[in-house]
Amino acid sequence: MLNYPLKFEPILKEKIWGGTKLISEFNKSSNVKNIGESWEISDVENNVSNVANGCLKGKSLRSLLHRFKSELVGKANFTRFGFNFPLLIKFIDAQKDLSVQVHPNDELSKKRHDSLGKTEMWYIMQADKNARLILGFNKPLTKEEYQHYLENGELETVLRNEQIKKGDAFFIKTGTVHAIGAGVVLAEIQQTSDITYRIYDWDRIDAQGQSRTLHTSLAVDAIDFSLGKASKCRYNTIQNKRNTIVQCTYFTTNFIPIQGEKQIDYSQKDSFVIFMCVEGEATISIFENTEAVKLGETVLIPATASIVTIKSAQCKLLEITI
């Protein structure tokens, strides 16, 4: 029954740029060293999450959708997305720079890949000294100017770097050229899509001496050159309150610092709720059933839950809904 907070088995991804922090500091388990991503909740083909707790343990997210439909995701979401879970939830550890990349919008993704686009946001959980993100260009560019810099090996000179710290958050629209820099651990909320066009990968090679595939031709049409500079989100951090970080067509993300007990009424909310623990630990209860969540863990609250009770000595949660 859908009467308890659902946890899922993390799907861990080895990456050329990955590190060890998801294992050593964020409660993941693996013998592989270079873990770059932990897919917490996923409905991506061949990467569908399985329930890790309770009476539904072992069941896939997709099977839950087919069995429970709107009881799991909400009536409006089921009407809109059908048997497809609309969000992909991740933790990312970048020990080295990620490739410079861009994600196509819904229209282009549908045309080329029969997929959704990839609008996303980042919440910085940890950042080494001088850590940075690449967010767009440092000056306005035309398509022709961009291609000139790319073809002449000068793309780095027009990329915009932004220094970051723990607690910073960023909204990444489709069409924005971007990259996560070395020394960053973050939470990522995005549309369910694995479509990424790599533009530049710092001329590095893998263990077999091969360069990773670039998608420079595909990327040109995906870049939105009309976008201004992507900037970090401004949000409040009021204790025991839901502080909105991002609100868009695809998801709403709130920051909730908890001390003591907080009860949230979702009776008027027609959606599932996801909690990502980005600091500390808490217990989350629905229908008198309780699940513990700690740093680096994620829980899914089904749409049938009208009241959620959170208790913690001190924690910080991201609350994600549609």
Among candidate residues 67, 198, 212, 242, the one labeled active-site is 198
Spatial separation of the C-alpha atoms in residues 254 and 261, rounded to whole Å: 17
Structurally, the chain folds into a number of domains equal to 2
* 8 A C-beta contact, residue 150 and residue 228: no
Say whether both 189 and 282 belong to one domain. no
Domain around 205: 11-222
Would residue 193 count as lying in a domain? yes
Spatial separation of the C-alpha atoms in residues 158 and 177, rounded to whole Å: 11
Please tell me the predicted confidence (pLDDT) of residue 230: 67
Say whether both 130 and 257 belong to one domain. no
What's phi and psi for 214, nearest 5 deg?
A: -105, 160
Could you list the beta-strand ranges (E) of the chain.
Answer: 11-19, 35-41, 43-44, 47-48, 87-94, 100-102, 120-127, 132-137, 159-163, 169-172, 178-180, 184-191, 197-200, 243-247, 252-265, 273-286, 289-294, 298-301, 307-321
Would residue 134 count as lying in a domain? yes
**CA 254, 260, 263 angle in degrees (round to 5)?**
55
Would residue 238 count as lying in a domain? no
Would residue 232 count as lying in a domain? no
Would residue 264 count as lying in a domain? yes
Please tell me the predicted confidence (pLDDT) of residue 208: 80
| CA distances for 85 relative to 71, 111, 195, angstroms | 13, 20, 16
Would residue 198 count as lying in a domain? yes
* 8 A C-beta contact, residue 137 and residue 148: no
Say whether both 106 and 61 belong to one domain. yes
Say whether both 36 and 100 belong to one domain. yes
Q: Find the DSSP H helices in 195-234.
A: 216-222
Say whether both 102 and 31 belong to one domain. yes
Say whether both 195 and 133 belong to one domain. yes
Say whether both 98 and 205 belong to one domain. yes
Per-residue pLDDT of the chain (322 residues; tens, 9 = 90+): 899 999 999 999 999 999 999 999 998 999 988 999 999 999 999 999 999 999 999 999 999 999 999 999 999 999 999 999 999 999 999 999 999 999 999 999 999 999 999 999 999 999 999 999 999 999 999 999 999 999 999 999 999 999 999 999 999 999 999 999 999 999 999 999 999 999 999 988 877 888 889 999 999 999 999 887 667 999 999 999 999 999 999 999 999 999 999 999 999 999 999 999 999 999 999 999 999 999 999 999 999 999 999 999 999 999 999 9
Would residue 150 count as lying in a domain? yes
Please tell me the predicted confidence (pLDDT) of residue 23: 96
Please tell me the predicted confidence (pLDDT) of residue 227: 80
Spatial separation of the C-alpha atoms in residues 278 and 126, rounded to whole Å: 10
Among this protein's residues, is 80 annotated catalytic? no
Model confidence pLDDT, tens digit, residues 87-128: 999 999 999 999 999 999 999 999 999 999 999 999 999 999
Say whether both 125 and 16 belong to one domain. yes
Say whether both 87 and 48 belong to one domain. yes
Say whether both 217 and 250 belong to one domain. no
* 287's tokens: 């229908």
> What's 279's domain CATH number?
2.60.120.10
What's phi and psi for 39, nearest 5 deg?
A: -80, 110
Say whether both 261 and 179 belong to one domain. no
Say whether both 48 and 192 belong to one domain. yes
Would residue 152 count as lying in a domain? yes
Helix, strand, coil fractions of the chain, as percent rounded to 5: 15, 40, 40
Instruction: Calculate the CA dihedral of residues 85, 46, 18, 160 and round it to 10 degrees.
Output: -50
